[in-house]
Amino acid sequence: MGKLDGKIALVTGGNSGIGLATAKRFVAEGAHVYITGRRQGSLDEAVKEIGTNVTGVQGDVAKLDDLDRLFEQIQREKGRLDVVFANAGGGEFSTLGSYTEEHFDKTFNTNVKGLVFTVQKALPLLPDGATIVLNASIVSVKGTPAFGIYSATKAAVRSFARTWTNELKDRKIRVNVVSPGPIDTPAISGLVGKDQEEQFKAGMAEAVPLGRVGDSDEIAKAVVFLASDDSSYVAGVELFVDGGFVAV
């Protein structure tokens, strides 16, 4: 018996990295999973890789019309949603003196606006006792140079979890945050470039007490814990999955 048997789950940004790994774990634990992604090609590949009990819905979480279409489909096909993993997000390096309006808007639109309205629009489909997991980052509490805008969005994510835990307590809906440390995902090459990827990962590994970067499945297992009854008395927390980077 799986930890999510019979559950209907949503993973935004489920076409790669942490989102894809989590969608795989959800399916393995018995859930039917909806995944979203902006690029139809990579979404189709992810659906094929997961293989069963998965539905891909192309869309951008920062576009409210896309979210409406997503939840209308879930309502029509399943009638409810038991688990939300608001995972879609991204960031780029930029120092204070180099911020642009485009950089600010792009990062906040995906990481904050998209997350907020994903959860808001999911609410009518969530039964009492449902679970919501938000994906933040260790940078919510670390002053990482050249990552200020991204860090601010993740601090906002952490704040929402506190507020929503209180707002949804009468419905017994638990809201928690997973905050990954350095994780080996395709996003790293997009952030620093293919030629700098290995050097960047080696530098991050040196800062982690466990001496290595993590992998996406290690985050996925933590998300399964927060999404399932294994964490039935856990609410409003930020769970750092970072090899000890923040705590030590």
Q: Active-site residues: which are they?
A: 150
As given in the structure block, the two tokens for residue 67 are 């979210």
Residue 134's nearest CA partner among 31, 218, 19 is 19
Q: What is the 8-class DSSP label of residue 12? A: T
The continuous run of DSSP H or E covering 50 comes out as helix 40-50
What DSSP letter does each residue of 87-142 carry, written as one string? -------B-GGG--HHHHHHHHIIIIIHHHHHHHHHGGGPPTT-EEEEE--GGGTS
- Confirm if 128 and 102 have CB atoms less than 8 A apart: no
- Phi then psi for residue 86, to 5 deg, are -80, 90
Residue 181 has a CB neighbour count (10 Å cut-off) of 23
Q: What is the Cα–Cα distance from 213 to 218, expressed in whole angstroms?
A: 11
Q: What is the Cα–Cα distance from 29 to 49, expressed in whole angstroms?
A: 16
The continuous run of DSSP H or E covering 57 comes out as strand 54-58
What is the SS3 assignment for 35? strand
Residue 37's nearest CA partner among 25, 23, 27, 26 is 23
